[in-house]
Structure 1
């Protein structure tokens, strides 16, 4: 007996394949959505961890900035203390300088040269006075320039006749008014022998 299938089996197979395709497509979509959700969760966790590290680093940076400010303040205080210490040391070293300067002037001023004003301004010594001759003034400049341990770089600012006025007695000896500028050496700039001599008690100053 021969059986003949008269049902539309091709259409039925097509429907089954289409249903299987859609089922596979839905399953792929579900799996894809799960993968995306899982990856999103992983990314969120990574972002959260990184944010925590960033917050930690920011806090540590703020601590370091505060420490740096403290260090800068300490350095400024140290520099100020060093400056005050240096000022005190300089005052300690310079306290006997005027005595040494006067001794040097007495020692290196030749006869016939008289001072009317001696004024020290820092490391500069300004002297005005009277000299009997130009030669005596030149000798004073040579002595202070070459032989003095405390005075250096003598500079003659001005020298002029002192008593050449109308009606003046021509029999009077000629005198010269002068103005001199010298540099004063500090004790720390002295050579070792001169520094030792400077640290010794200064002799009495004799008036010229």
Structure 2
């Protein structure tokens, strides 16, 4: 028995190819949508993880900034305490300076010279008085310049001759009224000078031995 296909086979093949094309296109679109959705989900997860790290870092930065402010405040407080401590130490060191000043003036003032006033302003001292001769004033200047442990840099501010009537009112004495400015050393300066002077004194014998 012979079968004869009377249907238009070309149109049928064309229709099948079209169906296959649209099916493949739909499958590709579906696969693409799945891939895009998966990639989007991964990207969102990465963004969320990075955001979490950013939030953590921001919180840590704020914490460190607070700690830095605390450290800066502690440093300022420490510096303030150091300044107060130094001020107290300076007061304790300087409280004996008037005693040293009076002792040095007594020791370095020659006979025939009398002090009438002593004014101290920090390390600056102004003394005024009367001397029998110019030589007494010169001797006082030399003593305070080279022999005094606590006084230095004497400067003669003023000297003038004057006459004073004696007690019996019979004659007049010629005197010299003077004003001298001095610098009073601080105890730490005296200690440093003493320690510095002791080094050459100890080194002198060694130098003489090496020379011999």
User: Normalising by structure 1, what TM-score?
Assistant: 0.75
Query: Higher relative contact order at CA 8 Å, sep ≥6: structure 1 or structure 2?
Result: 1
Segments of 5+ residues of structure 1 without an aligned counterpart are: 165-170, 196-208
Residues paired across the two proteins, number: 189
Q: How does 1:39-188 map to 2 (within 5 A)?
A: 39-163=39-163, 172-188=172-188
C-alpha distance in 1 between matches for 2:128 and 2:86: 32
C-alpha distance in 2 between matches for 1:7 and 1:138: 149
C-alpha distance in 1 between matches for 2:161 and 2:9: 146
Residues 27 and 107 of structure 1: CA distance in aligned 2, closer, same or farther (over 3 Å)? same
* Residue pair 1:149, 1:194 contacting (<8 A) in 2 also: no
What is the Cα deviation at residue 27 of structure 1? 1.9
Aligned-residue Cα RMSD (Å) equals: 2.9
What is the Cα deviation at residue 58 of structure 1? 2.1
2:207 aligned residue = none
What is the Cα deviation at residue 7 of structure 1? 5.5
Residues 102 and 12 of structure 1: CA distance in aligned 2, closer, same or farther (over 3 Å)? same
Q: Which has the higher helix share?
A: 2
Residues 32 and 135 of structure 1: CA distance in aligned 2, closer, same or farther (over 3 Å)? farther
What is the Cα deviation at residue 10 of structure 1? 4.2
1:200 aligned residue = none
C-alpha distance in 2 between matches for 1:135 and 1:9: 149
Query: Secondary structure, in 3 states, of the residue corresponding to 1:179?
Result: strand
2:168 aligned residue = none
Residues 162 and 17 of structure 1: CA distance in aligned 2, closer, same or farther (over 3 Å)? farther
Residues 153 and 14 of structure 1: CA distance in aligned 2, closer, same or farther (over 3 Å)? farther
Moved over 6 A (4+): 1-6
